[in-house]
A and B are shown apart, each in its own frame.
Chain A
């Protein structure tokens, strides 16, 4: 450490600091300050008394808010639902992205550009719009999709309590597969062509090349994708919030983020909402750490 800091002496440190100021100013205002404020909020509570018309007192309650969040069945239920969502979503989306990327890499150069565009197109649609479009496609009595299925003898309500989770997973898969295909495809482009040629000379088929050479070489990119997906999943909010307008199956506390929103703006308990947000942030941090550790171990092996 000592030798290292000596090499950075002179004007180097000052210049670096100067360049870092803009970032840290914005970071402080937009990130650190709100987090600290939430932390402070989460340790207090607004206490009313009697009928509640006499005004409220703010008092320090320690970890009471955190306790209430964890004791809430709807919060833990939301976490469970999120786990189920991950279980459905990550294999579908990541699996789909890998298959598409490998197929894309194997097609002739001219068709490639077109497919690349087509696969990416859904991601160009903003999340809110995508959710609105799918809500329309899912709504019985309105949707041409449901009508077509019905005329084929299939009765299905995409929005009932049992189907709504897979339906929302489907929206996310539709939205994000293309984006991740592009990342994986870029990684595939970096695979040295000599290796692929050598494999071909040795008589390996396209499928064999894809599975034994290309796939292992894009594993680092794959772990990055999984990391982002896991963090993104914890932030699940838009799709269920939009779909909840079309069906009552999506409750106001369906996932942890919705729970925090409900606490803040429906139940007017900002302190509890702050505690829930901190818990969600800690979960995201913990999960990211776990995924990074796991993937770095995998890449070394």
Chain B
């Protein structure tokens, strides 16, 4: 050993380096803690991450509108393609953006993980959060504190091929019973077509269906969570959709997949259960097949009394890794409340916005001539019936993946009710592993 002093020194240096890098890595867990300060004259450069189309133009517009704050925009993949994994990892490592875009379903887990900061103290509360409707405010406030400024309020809708419904001799279904009857008539005329799809990869839509039926998958009782994935309303929805699948009125297929796109283009699908933001997607998938003017928007069928739910929708947040929360606050106020921001986004997204008075700007910016009816009038009606009181759980991704995984067996004889059972169990054990107090 004595004859290799260099080697040994190297080794010691290496070990020391290792230790220090371990310390460094461990230190990554705690980024700069943001202290609420009044956002008087905020300035500086901030970064903004979003997967929404057209947000680059909105950031440009903001930069042009003033000269104190400069926003650097970066597109990231959407949630289904790993966007949240990227965001969450970056924030934890301390190099996340200042401003993030997080959907309502995922927001509680970012709050619970301490990855976004409380907005009160940075934002002008009276001009933003306080002006929102109760349904939307409940999705961004936890324990009475706000963690996001809502962008859109996306009502669940049905999109139909009006020509195919006419051919089958059915009117737009108002209730789920009528939906079933319409499906049967459609099958009689065109045995190979379907009235809609059931998407195994979109549990947030399954949640919206349950929400519309009056279910509450997540609620709080004192200091613990109460799960409702197996409540009566959800069971009713599960039974209904199981019947639709068994009768081949709806097709089990992945949303946004090649298979789904092909089914839209070739007319296999006479309907799409979706939301306002689906307009561009439907247009892009079908316009090459001469379906202009054939698609209409309609309120989703209900259980007898008008009731709706949100499907999707995003909020803007200030992350824990932001070194300039005051400037970030100015920017998210612009994003969420300014008519200029909505106009700058341009002809994409067919947005329905949470902040009062903004939707008419979005309507002006969006070219809806592809569709056979006044889609924004339908959005208005659907928005008016949203049931209040829905809450997302503290780790939606646990439930989300559990549902996705068990829906995988639907094409080979699996049942929706079994999927809900196993997902309830996974959610229960997943939350307990995190140390949360939870019961069913």
Q: Taking beta carbons and an 8 Å cutoff, which residues of A are in contact with B? A: 5, 9, 13-14, 17-18, 21, 24-25, 28-29, 32-33, 36-37, 40, 46-53, 55-56, 58, 68, 74, 135-136, 139-142, 157, 160-162, 245-253, 262, 264-270, 272
A132 CB, min distance to chain B CBs, angstroms:
10
Query: Is B398 touching A267 in the complex (CB atoms < 8 A)?
Result: yes
Among B159-167, B176-184, B368-376, B427-435, which stretch is in contact with chain A?
Answer: B427-435
Binds A, one of B14-22, B60-68, B120-128, B295-303: B14-22
Give B6's nearest chain A residue, CB to CB. Answer: A17
User: Which residues of chain B from 409 to 440 have a CB within 8 Å of any chain A CB?
Assistant: 409-412, 414, 430-431, 433-437
- Separation of A264 and B113 alpha carbons in the complex (Å): 13
- Minimum Cβ distance to chain A for residue B71 (Å): 27
- Of residues 374 through 415 on chain B, the ones whose CB sits less than 8 Å from some CB of chain A are 394-395, 397-398, 400-401, 404-405, 407-412, 414
12 A/B residue pairs, CB under 8 Å, sorted by A: A13-B6, A17-B4, A33-B21, A36-B22, A37-B25, A46-B435, A47-B434, A50-B436, A51-B225, A141-B259, A141-B262, A249-B411
Q: Report the nearest A residue to B88, measured CB to CB.
A: A268
Contact B398 A53 (CB under 8 A): no
How far is the CB of A45 from the nearest CB of chain B, in Å? 8
Give CA–CA (A6, B433) in the complex, Å: 57
Instruction: Confirm or deny: B43 has a beta carbon within 8 angstroms of a beta carbon on chain A.
Output: no
The residue on B at minimum CB distance from A10 is B3
User: Would you call B405 and A28 a contact (CB within 8 A)?
Assistant: no
Cβ 8 A contact of A51, one of B17, B263, B409, B437: B437
Q: Say yes or no: B397 contacts A266, CB within 8 Å.
A: yes
Closest Cβ–Cβ distance, residue A40 to chain B (whole Å):
7
Chain B residues with CB under 8 Å of A139's CB are 257-259
Q: Mark B117-148, 1 if CB is under 8 A from A, else 0.
A: 00000000000000000000000001100000
Contact of B109 with A268 in the complex, beta carbons under 8 Å: yes
Distance in angstroms from B66 CB to nearest chain A CB is 34
Contact status A52-B258, CB under 8 Å? no
**Are B398 and A266 within 8 A (Cβ)?**
yes
What are the residues of chain A within 8 A of B259 when measuring CB–CB? 139-142, 246
Q: How far is the CB of A167 from chain B (nearest CB, A)?
A: 14
Question: Inside 8 A of A52's CB, which chain B residues have their CB?
Answer: 112, 394-395, 431, 434-436
Q: Could you tell me if A246 and B257 are in contact, using CB atoms closer than 8 angstroms?
A: yes
**Chain B interface extent, by class:** 35 or more
Out of A21, A51, A248, A269, which one reaches B200, CB within 8 Å? A248
* Docked-complex contact A253 and B412, CB < 8 angstroms: no
Contact A50 B437 (CB under 8 A): yes
Compute how far the CA of A55 lies from the CA of B118 in the bound complex, rounded to whole angstroms.
13
- Residue of chain B at shortest CB distance from A47: B435
B257 near A266: Cβ-Cβ < 8 Å:
no
Q: Are A248 and B410 in contact, with the CB atoms below 8 A?
A: yes
Say whether, besides A33-B21, A252-B404, A268 and B397 are in contact (CB < 8 Å): yes
Whether B254 and A245, one on each chain, are in contact in the complex, defined by CB atoms closer than 8 angstroms, is yes
B85 contacts A29, CB within 8 Å?
no
Evaluate contact between A251 and B395: CB separation under 8 angstroms: no
Q: How far is the CA of A68 from the CA of B400 in the complex (A)?
A: 20
- Distance from B425 Cβ to chain A, minimum over Cβ atoms (Å): 10
CB-CB under 8 A from A161, the residues of chain B are 408-409, 411-412, 414
Cα distance A25–B21 in the bound complex, in angstroms: 13
Closest Cβ–Cβ distance, residue A108 to chain B (whole Å): 43
Tell me, in angstroms, the Cα distance from A25 to B262 when the chains sit together.
52
Q: With contacts A46-B435, A58-B29 known, what are 16 further pairs, Cβ within 8 A? A: A13-B4, A17-B7, A24-B10, A24-B14, A51-B394, A52-B395, A56-B114, A136-B258, A139-B258, A161-B412, A245-B257, A248-B201, A248-B404, A248-B405, A253-B401, A266-B398
Residues of A within 8 A of B225 (CB): 51
Residues of A within 8 Å of B434, CB to CB, are: 46-48, 52, 269
Cβ distance A275 to chain B, nearest Cβ, rounded Å:
12
Given A142-B262, A269-B434, are A252 and B143 also a contact pair (CB < 8 Å)? no
In the assembled complex, the CB of B17 is this many whole angstroms from the nearest CB of chain A, namely: 7
**Given contacts A24-B14, A28-B17, are A13 and B113 in contact (CB under 8 A)?**
no
Distance to closest chain A CB from B170 (angstroms): 24
Cα of A9 to Cα of B10 in the assembled complex, Å: 18
Among B17, B21, B85, which residue has its beta carbon within 8 angstroms of that of A265? B85
| A248 adjacent to B258 (CB under 8 Å) | no
Residues of B166-200 at the interface with A, using a CB-CB cut-off of 8 Å, are: 200
- Nearest B residue to A251 via CB reads B405
| Least CB separation from A16: chain B residue | B7
Among B113, B201, B433, max chain A CB count under 10 A is at: B433
Chain A to chain B: the 8 pairs with minimum beta-carbon distance, closest first: A248-B200, A265-B85, A248-B408, A251-B405, A47-B435, A52-B112, A52-B394, A50-B223
Task: Given A13-B4, A53-B142, decide whether A36 and B397 contact each other with a Cβ distance below 8 A.
Answer: no
Interface residue B111 (Cβ < 8 Å from any Cβ of A)? yes
* 8 Å CB contact of B397 from A32, A251, A267: A267
Given A32-B18, A142-B258, also A49-B407 (CB < 8 A): no
Q: Which residues of A contact B409 (CB under 8 A)?
A: 161, 249
| Cα–Cα, bound, A250→B412 (Å) | 13
Q: Report how far A50 CA is from B398 CA in the complex, Å.
A: 17
Expressed in whole angstroms, the Cα–Cα distance for A133 and B143 within the complex equals 48
B residues 218-261 near A (Cβ < 8 Å) are: 220, 223-225, 254, 257-259
Q: How far is the CB of B100 from chain A (nearest CB, A)?
A: 15
**CB–CB A17/B143 < 8 A:** no
Bound-state CA distance A92–B210 (Å) is: 46
Residues on the A chain within 8 Å of B394, using CB: 51-53
